[in-house]
């Protein structure tokens, strides 16, 4: 399937955003939203520490191959012409043989309601289908995460599953929706 990072070294642009590889200078911006309990609540994990943000950026700063199950392309989302990271999108190759990729997004709540998640996810889906040879992109999200469900619907993804009590968030059982779109259905 090729090298996903080489396709985004210069960044992927949209009308208002630039999606690019994270750099060490982005740790503070990423930590600012990844450390918030309200951001982590739908992710079935604790908020990230500054150290874990720095480690994950260092591990992916050079990008990743796009060949094996688990390879992931993590991109910082920045407003065009402005400093700082407002969020991130990630595309993970879940099944290389079947060309299945999982998409996800996390944004700083200060930038909610501006359409950035939809715009960034749309750009990443287009990259997945047009450049990375993905057949199917899917998203898994907590059923309580209505904002992400709306993003999936704006992208033209269909809800394929409702997984009931399939994960735990501390003491709470969580349920998930699975949304997906095929390359032949993608209208960008």
- Residues in the chain predicted with pLDDT less than 70, given as ranges, are 1-10
Structure tokens at 170: 């501390």
Phi-psi region of 3 (alpha: psi -120 to 50; beta: other; left: phi over 0): beta
Q: What is the pLDDT of residue 73?
A: 93
Q: Which domains does the chain have, with CATH numbers?
A: 5-136 (3.40.630.30)
Integer Cα distance of 54 and 181 in angstroms = 32
Backbone phi, psi, residue 110, to 5°: -65, -20
Q: What is the pLDDT of residue 4?
A: 52
β-bridge pairing 87-95 and 12-13: unpaired
Supply the pTM of this predicted model. 0.92
Q: What is the pLDDT of residue 8?
A: 57
Q: What is the pLDDT of residue 62?
A: 75
β-bridge pairing 136-142 and 72-79: unpaired
Q: What is the pLDDT of residue 171?
A: 81
Q: What is the pLDDT of residue 159?
A: 98
Structure tokens at 75: 């991109």
Q: What is the pLDDT of residue 1?
A: 47
Q: What is the pLDDT of residue 97?
A: 97
- The DSSP code sequence of 34-96 is HT-HHHHTTTTSPPPPHHHHHHHHHHHTT--BSSSTT-EEEEEEEETTS-S--EEEEEEEEET
Contact 120, 87 (CB under 8 A): yes
């Amino acid at each position: 399937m090729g090298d996903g990072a080489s396709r985004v070294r210069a960044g992927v642009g949209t009308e208002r955003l630039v999606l690019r590889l994270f750099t060490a200078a982005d740790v503070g911006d990423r930590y600012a939203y990844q450390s918030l309990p309200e951001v982590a609540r739908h992710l079935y994990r604790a908020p990230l520490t500054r150290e874990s943000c720095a480690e994950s950026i260092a591990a992916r700063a050079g990008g990743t191959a796009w060949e094996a199950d688990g390879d992931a392309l993590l991109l910082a989302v920045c407003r065009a012409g402005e400093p700082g990271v407002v969020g991130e999108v990630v595309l993970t190759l879940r099944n290389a043989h079947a060309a299945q990729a999982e998409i996800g997004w996390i944004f700083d709540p200060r930038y909610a309601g501006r359409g950035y998640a939809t715009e960034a996810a749309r750009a990443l889906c287009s990259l997945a289908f047009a450049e990375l040879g993905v057949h199917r992109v899917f998203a898994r999200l907590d059923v309580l995460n209505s904002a992400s469900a709306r993003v999936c619907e704006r992208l033209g993804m269909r809800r394929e599953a409702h997984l009931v009590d399939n994960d735990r968030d501390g003491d709470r059982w969580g349920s998930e929706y699975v949304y997906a779109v095929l390359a032949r259905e993608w209208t960008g």
